[in-house]
Amino acid sequence: MKYYQSKIIENTNLQEIRPKVEEELKNIGFGVLTEIDIKKTMKEKLDKEYSPHVILGACSPVYADKILSVEPTVSTLLPCNVTLRELGDGNTEVAMMNPLAALEIVNNPKIEEIGKEVQEKLSSALNNLG
């Protein structure tokens, strides 16, 4: 099972696509809780150049509550990461984790059902990006 799903958005950069990504996440009940700027962090910590690349920690309180009610330590696998990465050719990749792949290691059928619902929602958001 692939651990992520992605889509190349042509003729756009990270700054242009980010509001659209956040809007699609909002439409499925997710918000962005955290942000890691890979380019900035790698420059500061390693003095290494990276293309614009951001990790957004997306979360749905409804799904977080459902899954934590079944398996509290699954919090180690939250939130759902969504990445935006400029490819250097005028295109940007939007990638989202596959919750089913991450939750497979928990080995709990109740968790897998919730993961499937989240996966369907994230796929929908990704598909709506154009």
pLDDT at 130: 76
Sign of CA dihedral 42, 31, 33, 102: negative
Q: Residue 111: which residues within 8 A CB-CB, separation 6 or more?
A: 67, 70, 71, 74, 103
Phi/psi of residue 33, nearest 5 degrees: -95, -35
- Model confidence over 19-78: pLDDT tens digits? 999 999 999 999 999 999 999 999 999 999 999 999 999 999 999 999 999 999 999 999
* Cα 16 to the center of its chain, rounded Å: 17
pTM comes to: 0.93
Whether residue 87 is predicted with pLDDT greater than 90 in this model: the reply is yes
What domains sit in the chain, N to C, each tagged with a CATH number?
Answer: 4-127 (3.30.310.70)
